[in-house]
Amino acid sequence: MSAMLTDTSFDTLSGLLKATSGLVIGREKTYLLETRLTGIVKREKLNDLNHLADRLRMPNNSRVARDVVEAMTTNESFFFRDDRPFQHFRTQALPKLLATRPAGMPIRIWSAAASSGQEAYSLAMTVTDLKAACGDRKIEILGTDIARDQLARAREGLYTQFEVQRGLPVQHLMRWFRKEDGKWRLHDHIRAQVQFREFNLLADPSVLGRFDIVFCRNVLIYFDHPTKARVLDAIAGVMRPDGLLYLGGAETVLGITTRFAPVAAERGVYSIATQPASVPGSRVPQPA
C-alpha cells in the first residue's frame, strides 16, 4: 500500500465494519486493514486503501462493501475446539435433552458463528457417536455465518491435513473422513446432518426458529459491549427455557446481560436466567 491511510478513510472502513458486522477495529489495527484488504484493492484496480474508502462512499458499492466485511472476518476454527464444551455437550447437555424432551420433538442446535464448519461438524460427530441413545429422535444442527466464502467451505466438508490435525482425535479422522487428493473429505452422512445458512448476528434470529443448544464461540470477542449485549439478548430470545449457551474461552455474559446465568463449575456454559434483570447498556434488539 502506498499512501498513509487518512483519518477519513479509516473512519469509512471502520464505520462500515462496525455497522454491518459488529466488528470493532481500532486505529492501532490499521495494519489488519492493510493486510486483509490488499487483494480487494488490487482486484478493483485501485491505488490504495484511501481509494477503496472513496469507492465505499460512492453509490452502488454493496458488492465491494460485502467483500470488505468478509475479508475482515477472522475465520480461524478447529474441530472440537477447547474440547471441554464438546465433552459437556456429550455427557450432560444432550443426554438431559434426550431424557426430558417429549418423544418426536426435534432437538435443535445452532452453531452461530460456524466459519468453515468444524464446530457444527464436531457436534454432528458427537451426535452420531451417541446414536444408540438418540434412537430415531431428529437432531437438527444449523451452522450460520456472515462470511459466504466460509459457508461454501463448510458445505464442501473438505479439510487440509493441518486443519484435521488441530483437535480432531485420530480415531475420528479415520472414522469420519476419507483421503481425497491430499485432503480429507468428511463422510456424506456427517455432512448431511448439518445445514449451513448465511446469517448476520446483528439481525433478528427468530427467522431461524428456536434452539435447545447454541454454540456462539469466538465471535463476541470482536464486538463492543453494546453489540455483545444485543447479540446475547437476541440469542436468549430464541432459546428454549432449559436451553444451554456455549461461549468461547475469552467470552462471558457476566456484566453484559442478565438473560443468561453461568452453569455452576462449567466455564463458558450458560443457562437461561429465570428472572432477568436489566444491565446498563444492554437493550433488546430491534428486528433488522
Residues numbered 152-191 forming contacts with ligand SAM, rule: CB under 6 A: none
Max distance between CA atoms of the chain, in angstroms, equals 64
Residues numbered 112-131 forming contacts with ligand SAM, rule: CB under 6 A: 113, 115, 119
Provide DSSP, 161-188.
HHHHHTT--HHHHHHHEEEETTEEEEPH
Segment interacting with ligand SAM (CB under 6 A) among 140-148, 234-242, 257-265, 277-285: 140-148
Q: What strand order describes the sheet that includes 177-180?
A: 158-159, 183-186, 177-180
Q: What is the rounded distance in angstroms from the CA atom of residue 227 to the CA atom of residue 218?
A: 14
Q: How many residues bind ligand SAM (CB under 6 A)?
A: 22
Residues 62-81: x where in contact with ligand SAM by CB under 6 A, - otherwise, as a string: -----------xxxxx---x
Q: Kindly tell me which residue out of 22, 85, 117, 205 binds ligand SAM, with binding defined by CB under 6 A.
A: 22
Closer residue to ligand SAM (CB): 139 or 214: 214
Provide DSSP, 72-122.
HS-----TTTTSHHHHHIIIIIHHHHHHHSPTTPPEEEEETT-TTSHHHHH
Residues numbered 244-283 forming contacts with ligand SAM, rule: CB under 6 A: 248
What is the length of the chain? 288
Listed residue (147, 140, 235, 154) closest to 196, CA to CA = 154
Q: Kindly tell me which residue out of 123, 125, 147, 269 binds ligand SAM, with binding defined by CB under 6 A.
A: 147
Minimal distance, residue 271 CB to ligand SAM, in Å: 20
Q: What is the rounded distance in angstroms from the CA atom of residue 272 to the CA atom of residue 260?
A: 5
150 scored as a contact of ligand SAM (CB under 6 A): yes
Closer residue to ligand SAM (CB): 138 or 148: 148
Residues 80-109: x where in contact with ligand SAM by CB under 6 A, - otherwise, as a string: -x----------------------------
Segment interacting with ligand SAM (CB under 6 A) among 174-182, 198-206, 254-262, 270-278: 198-206
64: left (phi over 0), alpha (psi -120 to 50) or beta: alpha
Positions touching ligand SAM (CB under 6 A) are: 21-22, 73-77, 81, 113, 115, 119, 145-147, 150, 200-202, 217-219, 248
